[in-house]
Structure 1
Amino acid sequence: MEILSEVWVRVLPVDAPEVEARSLLLAAAVALAIVVIGPLWRLARLGVTLVHELGHALVGLACGRSFTGLVLRADASGHAVTRGPERGAGRALTTWAGYPAPAIAGAAAIAAATWGWAAPVLTLALVAAAAALVRARSWLTGSVTLAVTAGLGLLWWRGDDAWQAWVLIVAGGVGIVGAWRHLGAVAGSRSPTSDPAVLAWLTRVPAAVWNVSFALACGAATWFAGSRLWALWPGSLL
Protein backbone atom coordinates (compact mmCIF):
# COMPACT_ATOMS: atom_id res chain seq x y z
CA MET A 1 0.00 0.00 0.00
CA GLU A 2 2.86 2.36 0.72
CA ILE A 3 4.22 2.05 -2.81
CA LEU A 4 0.76 2.71 -4.25
CA SER A 5 0.52 5.83 -2.11
CA GLU A 6 3.92 6.98 -3.36
CA VAL A 7 2.84 6.44 -6.98
CA TRP A 8 -0.47 8.21 -6.48
CA VAL A 9 1.23 11.27 -5.01
CA ARG A 10 3.34 11.50 -8.16
CA VAL A 11 0.28 11.49 -10.41
CA LEU A 12 -1.77 14.22 -8.75
CA PRO A 13 -1.62 17.88 -9.88
CA VAL A 14 -0.36 20.56 -7.52
CA ASP A 15 -0.95 24.28 -7.08
CA ALA A 16 0.29 26.43 -9.95
CA PRO A 17 3.98 27.18 -9.36
CA GLU A 18 5.43 30.58 -8.59
CA VAL A 19 8.30 31.02 -11.02
CA GLU A 20 10.91 33.75 -10.76
CA ALA A 21 11.79 35.82 -13.81
CA ARG A 22 15.37 34.53 -13.82
CA SER A 23 14.09 30.95 -13.82
CA LEU A 24 11.97 31.62 -16.92
CA LEU A 25 14.87 33.39 -18.62
CA LEU A 26 17.16 30.47 -17.81
CA ALA A 27 14.63 28.02 -19.24
CA ALA A 28 14.41 30.08 -22.44
CA ALA A 29 18.21 30.25 -22.70
CA VAL A 30 18.60 26.49 -22.22
CA ALA A 31 15.90 25.71 -24.79
CA LEU A 32 17.49 28.11 -27.29
CA ALA A 33 20.94 26.61 -26.72
CA ILE A 34 19.61 23.10 -27.33
CA VAL A 35 18.06 24.16 -30.63
CA VAL A 36 20.90 26.29 -32.04
CA ILE A 37 24.04 24.44 -30.86
CA GLY A 38 24.76 21.77 -33.45
CA PRO A 39 25.72 18.76 -31.29
CA LEU A 40 22.86 19.41 -28.86
CA TRP A 41 20.35 19.81 -31.68
CA ARG A 42 21.47 16.59 -33.37
CA LEU A 43 20.46 14.76 -30.21
CA ALA A 44 17.36 16.79 -29.45
CA ARG A 45 15.93 16.51 -32.95
CA LEU A 46 15.70 12.74 -32.51
CA GLY A 47 13.36 13.47 -29.60
CA VAL A 48 11.39 15.89 -31.78
CA THR A 49 11.13 13.21 -34.46
CA LEU A 50 9.96 10.72 -31.82
CA VAL A 51 7.11 13.06 -30.87
CA HIS A 52 6.35 13.60 -34.58
CA GLU A 53 6.02 9.85 -35.14
CA LEU A 54 4.01 9.34 -31.96
CA GLY A 55 1.66 12.04 -33.27
CA HIS A 56 1.03 9.84 -36.30
CA ALA A 57 0.58 6.79 -34.06
CA LEU A 58 -1.80 8.35 -31.52
CA VAL A 59 -4.05 9.92 -34.14
CA GLY A 60 -3.95 6.69 -36.10
CA LEU A 61 -5.14 4.77 -33.04
CA ALA A 62 -7.88 7.36 -32.47
CA CYS A 63 -8.99 6.82 -36.08
CA GLY A 64 -9.21 3.06 -35.62
CA ARG A 65 -5.89 2.15 -37.18
CA SER A 66 -3.36 -0.17 -35.50
CA PHE A 67 0.12 1.02 -34.51
CA THR A 68 2.58 -1.76 -35.29
CA GLY A 69 6.05 -0.26 -35.57
CA LEU A 70 8.27 2.77 -34.96
CA VAL A 71 11.54 3.59 -36.72
CA LEU A 72 13.93 6.51 -36.12
CA ARG A 73 16.93 7.06 -38.38
CA ALA A 74 20.27 8.75 -37.77
CA ASP A 75 19.37 11.62 -40.13
CA ALA A 76 16.41 12.42 -37.79
CA SER A 77 13.83 11.07 -40.23
CA GLY A 78 11.43 8.42 -39.03
CA HIS A 79 8.41 6.31 -39.74
CA ALA A 80 5.44 5.20 -37.67
CA VAL A 81 3.80 2.11 -39.12
CA THR A 82 0.02 2.10 -38.83
CA ARG A 83 -2.27 -0.39 -40.49
CA GLY A 84 -5.73 0.31 -41.83
CA PRO A 85 -7.51 1.50 -45.00
CA GLU A 86 -5.10 2.85 -47.61
CA ARG A 87 -7.28 5.90 -48.20
CA GLY A 88 -9.95 7.80 -46.33
CA ALA A 89 -10.21 10.42 -43.60
CA GLY A 90 -8.46 8.24 -41.03
CA ARG A 91 -5.37 7.81 -43.18
CA ALA A 92 -5.32 11.53 -44.02
CA LEU A 93 -5.66 12.63 -40.37
CA THR A 94 -2.97 10.15 -39.33
CA THR A 95 -0.61 11.50 -41.98
CA TRP A 96 -1.37 15.12 -41.13
CA ALA A 97 -0.74 14.74 -37.40
CA GLY A 98 3.06 14.39 -37.51
CA TYR A 99 4.39 17.88 -38.18
CA PRO A 100 2.13 19.78 -35.73
CA ALA A 101 2.64 17.15 -32.99
CA PRO A 102 5.88 18.51 -31.44
CA ALA A 103 4.48 22.04 -31.28
CA ILE A 104 1.16 20.88 -29.81
CA ALA A 105 2.90 18.62 -27.32
CA GLY A 106 5.30 21.45 -26.45
CA ALA A 107 2.45 23.86 -25.84
CA ALA A 108 0.67 21.25 -23.70
CA ALA A 109 3.86 20.72 -21.66
CA ILE A 110 4.23 24.46 -21.04
CA ALA A 111 0.55 24.80 -20.12
CA ALA A 112 0.84 21.84 -17.74
CA ALA A 113 3.86 23.46 -16.09
CA THR A 114 2.06 26.77 -15.60
CA TRP A 115 -1.13 25.14 -14.25
CA GLY A 116 0.55 22.75 -11.82
CA TRP A 117 -0.23 19.70 -13.96
CA ALA A 118 3.36 18.65 -14.60
CA ALA A 119 3.00 15.36 -12.70
CA PRO A 120 -0.09 14.07 -14.59
CA VAL A 121 1.40 15.06 -17.94
CA LEU A 122 4.70 13.37 -17.10
CA THR A 123 2.74 10.25 -16.15
CA LEU A 124 0.99 10.20 -19.53
CA ALA A 125 4.25 10.90 -21.37
CA LEU A 126 5.97 8.08 -19.51
CA VAL A 127 3.20 5.63 -20.43
CA ALA A 128 3.33 6.74 -24.09
CA ALA A 129 7.13 6.40 -24.22
CA ALA A 130 7.02 2.94 -22.64
CA ALA A 131 4.37 1.85 -25.15
CA ALA A 132 6.49 3.23 -28.01
CA LEU A 133 9.49 1.28 -26.73
CA VAL A 134 7.61 -1.95 -27.36
CA ARG A 135 7.04 -0.87 -30.98
CA ALA A 136 10.68 0.06 -31.68
CA ARG A 137 11.96 -1.65 -34.85
CA SER A 138 15.66 -0.68 -34.86
CA TRP A 139 18.53 -0.38 -32.40
CA LEU A 140 18.60 3.40 -32.75
CA THR A 141 14.86 3.64 -32.19
CA GLY A 142 15.10 1.43 -29.13
CA SER A 143 18.05 3.38 -27.74
CA VAL A 144 16.41 6.79 -28.18
CA THR A 145 13.06 5.62 -26.84
CA LEU A 146 14.69 3.89 -23.88
CA ALA A 147 16.69 7.02 -23.05
CA VAL A 148 13.54 9.17 -23.22
CA THR A 149 11.60 6.68 -21.11
CA ALA A 150 14.37 6.52 -18.50
CA GLY A 151 14.66 10.31 -18.36
CA LEU A 152 10.91 10.74 -17.98
CA GLY A 153 10.81 8.04 -15.33
CA LEU A 154 13.59 9.64 -13.30
CA LEU A 155 11.99 13.09 -13.54
CA TRP A 156 8.57 11.65 -12.62
CA TRP A 157 9.82 9.68 -9.62
CA ARG A 158 12.61 11.86 -8.23
CA GLY A 159 11.90 15.40 -9.44
CA ASP A 160 10.15 17.89 -7.18
CA ASP A 161 7.25 20.02 -8.43
CA ALA A 162 9.37 23.07 -9.33
CA TRP A 163 12.00 21.01 -11.17
CA GLN A 164 9.35 19.08 -13.11
CA ALA A 165 7.67 22.32 -14.18
CA TRP A 166 10.98 23.89 -15.23
CA VAL A 167 12.01 20.87 -17.30
CA LEU A 168 8.61 20.80 -19.00
CA ILE A 169 8.98 24.46 -19.94
CA VAL A 170 12.40 23.76 -21.47
CA ALA A 171 11.18 20.64 -23.28
CA GLY A 172 8.09 22.46 -24.48
CA GLY A 173 10.18 25.26 -25.93
CA VAL A 174 12.45 22.78 -27.70
CA GLY A 175 9.41 20.97 -29.10
CA ILE A 176 7.87 24.16 -30.47
CA VAL A 177 11.05 25.51 -32.06
CA GLY A 178 11.91 22.01 -33.30
CA ALA A 179 8.52 21.73 -34.96
CA TRP A 180 9.20 24.95 -36.86
CA ARG A 181 12.64 23.72 -37.92
CA HIS A 182 11.20 20.45 -39.18
CA LEU A 183 8.42 22.30 -40.98
CA GLY A 184 10.95 24.56 -42.67
CA ALA A 185 12.82 21.50 -43.91
CA VAL A 186 9.75 19.76 -45.35
CA ALA A 187 8.43 22.95 -46.95
CA GLY A 188 11.40 22.89 -49.32
CA SER A 189 11.30 19.15 -49.93
CA ARG A 190 10.18 17.56 -53.18
CA SER A 191 10.23 14.02 -51.85
CA PRO A 192 7.17 12.04 -52.99
CA THR A 193 7.15 10.26 -49.63
CA SER A 194 7.00 13.38 -47.44
CA ASP A 195 3.84 13.90 -45.40
CA PRO A 196 2.60 16.84 -47.53
CA ALA A 197 3.20 14.85 -50.72
CA VAL A 198 1.34 11.83 -49.34
CA LEU A 199 -1.53 14.09 -48.24
CA ALA A 200 -1.65 15.59 -51.73
CA TRP A 201 -1.88 12.06 -53.17
CA LEU A 202 -4.59 11.08 -50.70
CA THR A 203 -6.76 14.18 -51.10
CA ARG A 204 -5.81 15.85 -54.41
CA VAL A 205 -5.19 19.02 -52.37
CA PRO A 206 -1.76 20.55 -53.21
CA ALA A 207 1.10 19.88 -50.83
CA ALA A 208 1.59 23.62 -50.34
CA VAL A 209 -1.86 23.87 -48.79
CA TRP A 210 -0.97 21.15 -46.31
CA ASN A 211 2.24 22.96 -45.43
CA VAL A 212 0.18 26.06 -44.68
CA SER A 213 -2.11 24.00 -42.46
CA PHE A 214 0.93 22.71 -40.56
CA ALA A 215 2.15 26.29 -40.11
CA LEU A 216 -1.25 27.42 -38.83
CA ALA A 217 -1.36 24.60 -36.28
CA CYS A 218 2.20 25.31 -35.15
CA GLY A 219 1.42 29.02 -34.99
CA ALA A 220 -1.63 28.43 -32.79
CA ALA A 221 0.41 26.22 -30.47
CA THR A 222 3.19 28.81 -30.32
CA TRP A 223 0.75 31.60 -29.48
CA PHE A 224 -0.91 29.51 -26.78
CA ALA A 225 2.41 28.59 -25.18
CA GLY A 226 3.56 32.19 -25.31
CA SER A 227 0.36 33.39 -23.64
CA ARG A 228 0.82 30.87 -20.83
CA LEU A 229 4.43 31.94 -20.23
CA TRP A 230 3.42 35.59 -20.28
CA ALA A 231 0.74 34.85 -17.69
CA LEU A 232 3.42 33.19 -15.54
CA TRP A 233 5.83 36.11 -15.86
CA PRO A 234 6.17 37.93 -12.53
CA GLY A 235 4.02 41.05 -12.50
CA SER A 236 1.91 40.01 -15.50
CA LEU A 237 -1.69 41.21 -15.42
CA LEU A 238 -2.97 38.25 -17.46
Structure 2
Amino acid sequence: MYVTASSGAADLWDRVFGSQSDPDQWVVFATAAAALAVIVPHNIWRLSRNAITIAHEGGHGIVALLSGRRLDGIRLHSDTSGLTVSRGKPSGLGMILTAAAG
Protein backbone atom coordinates (compact mmCIF):
# COMPACT_ATOMS: atom_id res chain seq x y z
CA MET A 1 0.00 0.00 0.00
CA TYR A 2 1.26 3.47 -0.89
CA VAL A 3 1.40 5.84 2.10
CA THR A 4 1.41 9.57 1.53
CA ALA A 5 2.52 12.23 3.98
CA SER A 6 -1.06 13.34 4.49
CA SER A 7 -2.30 9.82 5.24
CA GLY A 8 0.64 9.32 7.61
CA ALA A 9 -0.22 12.54 9.43
CA ALA A 10 -3.90 11.58 9.56
CA ASP A 11 -3.00 8.16 10.96
CA LEU A 12 -0.77 9.74 13.60
CA TRP A 13 -3.49 12.24 14.54
CA ASP A 14 -6.01 9.41 14.89
CA ARG A 15 -3.64 7.31 17.01
CA VAL A 16 -2.86 10.19 19.36
CA PHE A 17 -6.28 11.80 19.67
CA GLY A 18 -8.66 9.00 18.66
CA SER A 19 -10.66 6.96 21.11
CA GLN A 20 -9.53 3.60 22.36
CA SER A 21 -11.20 0.74 24.11
CA ASP A 22 -11.50 0.65 27.89
CA PRO A 23 -8.68 -1.19 29.67
CA ASP A 24 -9.35 -4.61 31.10
CA GLN A 25 -10.80 -4.52 34.60
CA TRP A 26 -7.75 -6.25 36.08
CA VAL A 27 -5.54 -3.41 34.75
CA VAL A 28 -7.71 -0.82 36.51
CA PHE A 29 -7.61 -2.74 39.81
CA ALA A 30 -3.87 -3.43 39.57
CA THR A 31 -3.18 0.26 38.92
CA ALA A 32 -5.36 1.31 41.85
CA ALA A 33 -3.67 -1.23 44.13
CA ALA A 34 -0.21 -0.05 43.07
CA ALA A 35 -1.17 3.60 43.66
CA LEU A 36 -2.53 2.81 47.12
CA ALA A 37 0.55 0.74 47.99
CA VAL A 38 2.74 3.73 47.16
CA ILE A 39 0.78 6.42 49.00
CA VAL A 40 -0.90 4.81 52.01
CA PRO A 41 2.04 3.50 54.12
CA HIS A 42 3.66 6.62 55.62
CA ASN A 43 7.27 5.39 55.30
CA ILE A 44 6.83 4.49 51.64
CA TRP A 45 4.99 7.75 50.92
CA ARG A 46 7.93 9.76 52.32
CA LEU A 47 10.12 8.26 49.58
CA SER A 48 7.62 7.98 46.76
CA ARG A 49 6.53 11.61 46.92
CA ASN A 50 10.08 12.63 46.03
CA ALA A 51 10.07 10.27 43.05
CA ILE A 52 6.70 11.66 41.96
CA THR A 53 8.03 15.23 42.16
CA ILE A 54 11.14 14.25 40.18
CA ALA A 55 8.97 12.69 37.45
CA HIS A 56 6.69 15.74 37.39
CA GLU A 57 9.51 18.27 37.13
CA GLY A 58 11.27 16.02 34.61
CA GLY A 59 8.21 16.30 32.38
CA HIS A 60 8.53 20.07 32.43
CA GLY A 61 12.26 19.81 31.70
CA ILE A 62 11.97 17.40 28.78
CA VAL A 63 9.28 19.45 27.07
CA ALA A 64 11.27 22.64 27.65
CA LEU A 65 14.21 21.09 25.81
CA LEU A 66 12.06 19.63 23.03
CA SER A 67 10.39 23.00 22.46
CA GLY A 68 13.70 24.80 22.06
CA ARG A 69 14.04 26.35 25.50
CA ARG A 70 17.27 26.20 27.51
CA LEU A 71 16.96 24.19 30.72
CA ASP A 72 18.71 25.99 33.58
CA GLY A 73 17.89 23.48 36.27
CA ILE A 74 15.43 21.51 38.32
CA ARG A 75 15.15 22.17 42.05
CA LEU A 76 13.61 19.86 44.62
CA HIS A 77 12.67 21.50 47.90
CA SER A 78 12.60 19.89 51.34
CA ASP A 79 8.79 20.04 51.38
CA THR A 80 8.83 17.86 48.21
CA SER A 81 7.73 20.69 45.95
CA GLY A 82 9.83 21.41 42.90
CA LEU A 83 10.73 24.04 40.36
CA THR A 84 11.92 23.72 36.78
CA VAL A 85 13.78 26.75 35.46
CA SER A 86 14.17 27.30 31.73
CA ARG A 87 15.11 30.22 29.52
CA GLY A 88 13.54 31.34 26.31
CA LYS A 89 10.74 33.54 25.09
CA PRO A 90 8.42 34.35 28.00
CA SER A 91 5.43 33.70 25.75
CA GLY A 92 4.50 31.45 22.89
CA LEU A 93 3.99 27.77 22.26
CA GLY A 94 7.23 26.65 23.96
CA MET A 95 6.27 28.34 27.19
CA ILE A 96 2.73 27.00 27.07
CA LEU A 97 3.89 23.43 26.43
CA THR A 98 6.54 23.63 29.15
CA ALA A 99 4.06 24.90 31.72
CA ALA A 100 1.48 22.26 30.83
CA ALA A 101 3.89 19.33 30.61
CA GLY A 102 4.36 18.33 34.24
TM-score (norm 2): 0.64
Q: Secondary structure at the match of 2:86?
A: strand
Find 1:52's aligned residue among 34, 51, 56: 56
Q: Which has the higher contact order (CA 8 A, sep 6+)?
A: 1
Q: Give, as a single letter, the amino acid of the residue that structure 1 aligns with 2:57.
A: E
Q: Which residue of structure 2 aligns with residue 69 of structure 1?
A: 73
User: Structure 1: which amino acid aligns with 2:42?
Assistant: G
Written as runs of structure 1 = structure 2, the 5 A alignment for 1:7-18 is none
2:62 aligns to what SS in structure 1? Answer: helix
CA–CA distance in 2 between the matches of 1:63 and 1:72?
23
Distance 1:57 1:44 in 2: 20
SS in 2 for 1:47: helix
Q: C-alpha separation between the residues in 2 aligned to 1:74 and 1:45?
A: 11
Q: Percent identity?
A: 44
Distance 1:85-1:39 versus aligned 2 partners, 3 A rule = same
Name the SS for the 1:41 alignment partner: helix
Count matched residues. Answer: 75
Q: CA deviation at 1:80?
A: 1.1
Cα distance in 2 for residues equivalent to 1:91 and 1:29 = 35
Of the candidates 78, 84, 89, which is equivalent to residue 85 of structure 1?
89
Q: Which residue of 2 aligns with 1:97?
A: 101
4+ residue runs over 6 A deviation: none
Question: Higher helix proportion, which one?
Answer: 1
Name 2:36's counterpart in structure 1. Answer: 32
Counterparts of 1:87 and 1:29, CA distance in 2 = 40
Separation of aligned partners in 1, 2:34 and 2:62: 29
Structure 2, unaligned runs of 5 or more? 1-25
- How much is the aligned-residue C-alpha RMSD, in angstroms? 2.1
Q: Between Structure 1 and Structure 2, which shows a larger proportion of strand residues?
A: 2
Q: Which amino acid aligns with 1:95?
A: A
